[in-house]
Structure 1
C-alpha cells in the first residue's frame, strides 16, 4: 500500500464546509483529492479513506490482530487455500437493492482479477488465482485459491476489497468518478464533490451493516462528513485549534501544539514506515549494481532522516516493516553501516533522480543533500500523493531512488515485503523496484503456505535477509501520525491501524 490510509486524514484545508457543533456534521482532512472512487483501483491514502467510508468489506480489522464481521457474519479458513463466508441477511446497497452472496462474489472476483490491477490483490491472494462461488440459497460464499496464502482473510479487510454494488459494476467509469449513486455498500454516499475544496458524504438512512467489533463503538455516526483536502501540516493544527476542523492528523513538530490541551485527544499510529527503494529495471543506474546501492546506504543517516520527518518522534527500523509487526528483522548486522568516505568513492559524478511524496518533503531534501555531499549530481522531486503513486507505480525509468512512505494497513510484514520482491507494479503487483528477487519471494510464498507462526517467521526472516544483503531497499524510520480529534469526537485504533470509518460523535 502506498503512503497512508490515515495519513490520508492527515491534513485539513481552508475553504469548504466548516465543522459543526450541531451533532450532525463532522469535518475531516484529506491530504489531496482522491484519484478514484473505485475501491479496487485505490492506490493512495486519500483513496483508501473515501473507499472505507463508501464501501463495506466482508471482514474488518479488530483489536489484537483479530477480525470483526462486516458484510459477513461468519468466516472460516479451512486451510490456507480454502475459505468460506456467511453473508449477513437484510443488507442493502445505496439504491435499495439486496447485497446477496452473488453480489459479494461478483465484486470480489473483479477485485482479485489480475486484469483489474488492484493494488490490494497481491496482499489478499499473493500470486494465486481466487475463485469465489456464491450460494444465495444458503447465504454463503466460498473462496478457493490456486496457491495457499494465509494472509487472505486479513487481505479482505483492505478498503480495496470493498464490495461494489451491481450499479457500480455496470458503470465502471461512473464508479471511478463517484457518479453512480447506487454503487455504495458502506455507510455513506458521496453527495457533493468539489476538487481541491471539499467532498461531502451523507449517512444512509437505511444502513444497518455496522461492523461487529469486540468492543462496540461509542457515540453516533455523523449524518454528514465533510472531507477537506490541503497539504500544509501547520494548517491542520491551526484549523483544529480554531474549531473549523474536527479530525486531522499531524506527523511533525505541530503535535506539541496540542500537548496537555484537554480540548483534544491524540490517537497516535506508527504503522507508516519509510525506506529507500531503488529502480532496478533494465537500463537503470542501479540495475545489477548492489555496490552502488550499498554506497547510497553508506551516505545517509537514518536517524537524521527520522528526526527531520517526525520532529524527533520517530524510531529507526531494521527492515521495511514497523518494529511492532510480527517477524520483523532485528539483526542490525544485516544493514549497511554509514561510511561517507566509501560512499564518495563510488557515487562521485553519478546522476540520480530522487522522488518522494510531499508528506516527506524534508526527508526527501535530506536524502538529496546527503548524496550531493557524496559527490553525486542529484535532483529531488516532491510530488503530491496521487502523482507520486502514479510515477513510482507505473514502471519505466522516470526515477532512480524512491523515498517510500508505506502505510501498513494489514499490520503484516508480508504487506511491506511485497514492495521489494514479488510481481512488479506494472504486472499487477506491489513491487516498485521492478525486479522480482525470486529467492526472497520464494520465502514469502513459503511463509504464506504455513499456518504455524514460528514457521512463518523463519521464512520471513530469510526473505528479509535476502533483500537486505542485496540492498534492494534501505530501512529508514517510522513516521508517527497523531490523529487529533476535538472534544466530543472519537476515532478507534486497532493495534497500529486507525480506521477512518470509526469516527463518531461522542459528546
Structure 2
C-alpha cells in the first residue's frame, strides 16, 4: 500500500479469466492468467532502489532473495538453502545449485555476492540498506567452489538476516548490473532471478509478467506452497477499495485488498476467504531540517499533538476497524511501547496558543486522503494556516524521501514488511533519506539511534527490548513523531485462488491457482 508505507496488494482477475456469460471466475483448471492491482505505477524496477509498496511488489515477483519470511517470524530458504549467523556481525550462506537467471546464466555465489554488495553500498542509496545493516558497511565474499557466500559487517546488526528478506535485497543478475538504467526501466531481459520476467509495460494501464519456463527455485517454506503459479500476471493500477469490493462481488476480481468499511460487504459470504493483516501503522512525522518551521521547536510539535485526536483519525481511515498505537509499531511487534502516558495529551487551548497564525504544509498518500484532510482540519481549528496535499504513492514517496523543505508534516503510512520495531524506528532516527537511510525527518537523534544500535548488537531478546524502549522514549519525548493508528487491511480471495500470509505479511509471490 504505502511507500514505506503501502497497503498490501489487491490481486484481480482479468476479463479473460471469466467464463463467457457467467460473470464469475473461470474454473481453476482453465486458468493460467491472473491480474494484480497496484496502487500506482512502479517508480522503478531496480529492486535496490524500491521505495514503496508497488515497487516492492514487482521486486518480489521479479527478483529472488537469499532468504524469505516464513510462519512465526522464522526464515525460509530462497536462493540460499542454508544460512548461519555466526554472531551479529558474521554470516554464511550456502547457495542452491542449478539456479538460473532469466537469460539462462547460472546464479553462482559470485553473482549473489556482487548483487548484495551493490545493495549494501552507501552510494547505491537503497532505502532497505539501513534496515538490513544499520550504519555498518558489509563485505560479501563468494566461494564458487564450496557454493558459499560469507558476509561480514563492520558493526553488529542482529536484524541482518531478516533484512535480507526485503525485496530491496533481491538478487540482480549480471545483465542487470551491467545496465543499471535499463534495469530501472525493466528492459533488461536477463536481469531477473525470480519466478517472473517483465514482458511488456504500459504506464497507468498494465505491466505484464510472464512465468519463466526454466524457473524451479520456489522458497522452501515449512508448509509447501499448494496449487500452481499463474503463467501470466497482469499488474494493473487500482486504488479505490469500494471499486475493488464491487468487482470482487461481481466476480471480475479474484483477490483484493480492502482497508475500510467495505470489508463488511463480505461478512458471512462463503464464496470468499478473508485474511487480515495489521502491519501497517500510521503516524505524523515532522520535517526538522534546518530552516523548516518545526526544526528545533519541540513546543510546536507538541502543540500539533495536542490538536490531534488519534481515535478520530483511526475511525476515518479504517471505517472504525483500526486501533490507536503508542509508538510507531503495532502492538503485535516485539518490544513496542504500550504506555499511553508517554503520549502528548489533547489540549485544544494549548494547541491554539502555539499554532495560531502559523503556516505549514501537510502531505500524505491518497490512500489516506480522509485522514490527511482530518489532520488539516484539526490544525486549522487550532488557528494554523494549513495546506494539505494528497499525492499518489510514487509522488508522495519521492517528495517525503528527497530531503529538502517541500513539506512540514507527513502523514506517514508505514508497511512494516520485516515485522520488527527497528524497521519503523528508523523512520524517526538514524541516517536521513537523503543520506541513504530511512529517516524522513532529517535529524539523526543520536540518543535514540544509539539505543537502536545497542539493540542490534544484542542477540538476547530482553536486552534488545530494553534498548528499544529507550529509543521509543527518546522520540516520544522529543515529539519527532505522533503515533496515530494501525490500519488493518483485509485480503479477500474468491474460490480457486490462494495467497499466503506469514504473520502480518502477505507475500505477493505466493499467489496460486488451486488445482
Partner of 1:333: 341
Partner of 2:184: 176
Residue 445 of structure 1: CA displacement?
A: 0.2
Residue 5 of structure 1: CA displacement?
A: 7.5
CA contact 2:63–2:167 (8 Å) conserved in 1: yes
Determine if the alignment matches structure 1 residue 463 to structure 2 residue 467.
Answer: no
Residue 164 of structure 1: CA displacement?
A: 0.3
Residue 24 of structure 1: CA displacement?
A: 0.7
Partner of 1:159: 167
Gap change, CA 1:126 and 1:346, over 3 Å in 2: same
- Which whole-Å CA distance do the structure 2 matches of 1:482 and 1:28 have between them? 15
CA contact 2:6–2:413 (8 Å) conserved in 1: no
- Which whole-Å CA distance do the structure 1 matches of 2:320 and 2:284 have between them? 19
- From 199, 202, 209, the counterpart of 1:194: 202
- Per-residue CA shift, 1:323-366, capped at 9, x if unaligned? 10000001111100011111111111111100000000000000
Partner of 1:415: 423
Gaps of 5+ in 2: 19-24
Gap change, CA 1:285 and 1:10, over 3 Å in 2: farther
Determine if the alignment matches structure 1 residue 451 to structure 2 residue 459.
Answer: yes
- Which whole-Å CA distance do the structure 1 matches of 2:424 and 2:65 have between them? 21
- Per-residue CA shift, 1:247-268, capped at 9, x if unaligned? 2211011111211111211111
After superposition, where does 1:84-483 map in structure 2 within 5 Å? 84-483=92-491
- Which whole-Å CA distance do the structure 2 matches of 1:201 and 1:379 have between them? 40
Residue 459 of structure 1: CA displacement?
A: 0.2
Gap change, CA 1:147 and 1:72, over 3 Å in 2: same
Gap change, CA 1:378 and 1:371, over 3 Å in 2: same
- Which whole-Å CA distance do the structure 1 matches of 2:421 and 2:474 have between them? 14
CA contact 1:16–1:197 (8 Å) conserved in 2: no
Gap change, CA 1:6 and 1:377, over 3 Å in 2: closer
Between stretches 233-242 and 67-76, larger displacement belongs to 233-242
Residue 242 of structure 1: CA displacement?
A: 2.2
CA contact 1:3–1:272 (8 Å) conserved in 2: no
CA contact 1:5–1:49 (8 Å) conserved in 2: no
Q: State how many pairs are aligned.
A: 506
Gap change, CA 1:384 and 1:11, over 3 Å in 2: farther
TM-score scaled to structure 2, two decimals? 0.96
- Which whole-Å CA distance do the structure 2 matches of 1:300 and 1:10 have between them? 31
Gaps of 5+ in 1: none
- Which whole-Å CA distance do the structure 2 matches of 1:3 and 1:270 have between them? 16
Partner of 2:37: 29
- Per-residue CA shift, 1:252-287, capped at 9, x if unaligned? 111112111112111111100000000000010000
Q: Residue 427 of structure 2: SS of its match in structure 1?
A: coil
What's the C-alpha RMSD, in Å, of the aligned pairs? 1.5
Determine if the alignment matches structure 1 residue 79 to structure 2 residue 87.
Answer: yes
